[in-house]
Amino acid sequence: LKIDEAALAKLDEQCGAVDAGKLSKAVLQPELANLSVSGDSLPVEVVRAGIVVRIHTLLISKEIVRKQVVLALVDILNKQTTPAIRSMESAGFALATCLESQGLSLYASELQALTDHTYMFIGLAGLVVGAGHALVRCLDALSCLSAEAVGGAADAFDLNYYVPHRPHRGLMQSASALR
């Protein structure tokens, strides 16, 4: 994963506009990183997707986050050293603990930026949507094979019928595949 230098420069500008003396160091409460509704960790794919979403939102937001924090998150993805996160609710604290264990001392605003958003849910939703698209493609292929096996008429899937009567893009794509 590479980050655009202009986006990183914007982070430097935002941090430079704030008086460094007004930034307070974050105080992590270790027990918060271990909040869990079950004993299992989240799947690695979900954690990685959530980190990608968080990097993106940090780059486009107005939150006061240093470039080093974003680069540390990118480093986690690039080195494939995904932290074990036990629940969606504790994801921010677990990531903050992971960053601090790598020697990066967080400011309170950075800790808040990591913990205040539901980026893991958004990452999971992205994975679900991607899987749904893949499933639809598989079902289209299965429908094609089934229609061919029973000798289905291609005229039933004529786009001239679907466009004026049922103008749904997905329906037209499936009908096109079936023809």
What is the reported pLDDT for 34? Answer: 47
**Interatomic CA distance for residues 49 and 83, integer angstroms:** 12
What is the reported pLDDT for 24? Answer: 52
Nearest to 120 by CA among 54, 76, 30: 54
Residue with tokens 């899987």: 131
What is the reported pLDDT for 33? Answer: 44
Residue with tokens 């993805």: 77
Sign of CA dihedral 40, 46, 52, 56: negative
Residues of the chain where predicted confidence (pLDDT) is lower than 70: 12, 14-39, 117, 156-157, 159, 161-169, 171-172, 178-179
What is the reported pLDDT for 7? Answer: 75
What is the reported pLDDT for 113? Answer: 86
What is the reported pLDDT for 130? Answer: 94
Provide the CB-side half-sphere exposure for 155 (13 A, CA): 1
What is the reported pLDDT for 35? Answer: 43
What is the reported pLDDT for 18? Answer: 56
Contact 49, 123 (CB under 8 A): yes
What is the reported pLDDT for 31? Answer: 46
